């Protein structure tokens, strides 16, 4: 009887592990990614459609993320996520980006990522600077241990320009400095609701965002949006 129960237990454990492996296989593991390389000039030639929303140096509207000066590995892996997303995915299915990336080759995505990373971003506008207060800065730099909020700078750098570590998953952590507050609020709110959830970095951000209430999200986004983007003119 003990042997039979043990065999049943082992079979059950094996089934659980297999199920977990199948679930994990649907996600992109960014923990051991290699730095990407691309052709900036080729990316510039391919970016005409992208400019309609993301512009040159700044986006045409603050609901679209600023891509100029962003880390290339982050941009590349975001494009990968949009391309591989299921048509019924609760996060990606709502984005016009899915149709834009459908026919891009891997080389296209690398070239576009390198091109936008090399762009010089424009400065934050005066309204964004005035909207910021000290709460967002305090949460970003120090978190709030009483509420279980970790400091954002641990992954995004003390100046919000991205962590100085440029290997593995750290290369795909974005710079947040000077990003539009409206876009950041939307992204943090989505992470708070566990969306998207298709990369190992998403798992981290979902856990962090769930510690933030709406006021904290608004404050952090306002402070980041008030900062001068790195390398701006």
Which tokens in the block code for residue 117?
Answer: 């990373």
Q: The pTM is what?
A: 0.86
Distance, CA of 233 to CA of 229 (rounded, Å): 9
Write down the pLDDT at residue 231. 74
Distance, CA of 122 to CA of 228 (rounded, Å): 8
Neighbours of 23 (CB within 10 A): 9
Distance, CA of 116 to CA of 44 (rounded, Å): 8
The residues spanned by each domain of the chain are: 40-226
Q: Bridge partners of 144?
A: 149
Write down the pLDDT at residue 53. 97
Write down the pLDDT at residue 25. 53
Residues 40-226: name the CATH superfamily. Answer: Cytochrome c-like domain (1.10.760.10)
Distance, CA of 154 to CA of 183 (rounded, Å): 21
Running along the chain, 233 residues long, what does each successive block of 10 average in pLDDT?
40 40 68 96 97 95 96 97 93 92 97 97 70 88 98 97 93 96 97 96 97 97 93 71
Distance, CA of 140 to CA of 79 (rounded, Å): 26
Write down the pLDDT at residue 127. 58
Write down the pLDDT at residue 131. 62
- Collect all residues with Cβ–Cβ distance below 8 Å to 34 and sequence separation of at least 6: none
Nearest Cα neighbor of 181 from 95, 62, 53, 68 is: 62
Going by the DSSP 8-state scheme, the letter that residue 163 receives in this structure is -
Write down the pLDDT at residue 2. 39
Distance, CA of 2 to CA of 147 (rounded, Å): 47
Axis-axis angle for helices 214-226, 181-192 (nearest 10): 150
Going by the DSSP 8-state scheme, the letter that residue 146 receives in this structure is G
Write down the pLDDT at residue 133. 78
In which element (H, E) is residue 206 found? Answer: helix 200-209
């Amino acid at each position: 009887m003990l042997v039979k129960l043990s065999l049943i237990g082992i079979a059950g454990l094996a089934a659980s592990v297999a199920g977990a492996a199948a679930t994990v296989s649907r996600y992109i593991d960014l923990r051991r990614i290699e730095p990407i390389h691309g052709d900036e000039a080729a990316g510039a030639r391919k970016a005409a459609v992208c400019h309609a929303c993301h512009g040159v140096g700044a986006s045409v509207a603050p609901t679209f993320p600023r891509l100029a000066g962003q880390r290339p590995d982050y941009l590349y892996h975001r494009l990968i996520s949009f391309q591989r997303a299921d048509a019924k995915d609760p996060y990606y299915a709502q984005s016009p980006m899915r149709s834009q990336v459908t026919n891009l080759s891997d080389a296209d995505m690398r070239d576009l990522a390198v091109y936008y990373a090399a762009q010089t971003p424009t400065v934050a506008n005066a309204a964004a600077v005035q909207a910021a207060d000290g709460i967002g800065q305090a949460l970003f730099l120090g978190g709030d241990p009483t509420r279980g909020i970790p400091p954002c700078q641990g992954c995004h750098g003390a100046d919000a320009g991205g962590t100085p570590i440029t290997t593995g998953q750290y290369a795909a952590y974005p710079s947040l400095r000077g990003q539009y507050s409206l876009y950041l609020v939307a992204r943090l709110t989505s992470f708070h609701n566990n969306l998207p959830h298709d990369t190992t970095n998403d798992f981290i951000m979902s856990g962090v965002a769930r510690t933030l209430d709406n006021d904290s999200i608004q404050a952090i986004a306002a402070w980041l949006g008030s900062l001068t983007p790195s390398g701006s003119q």
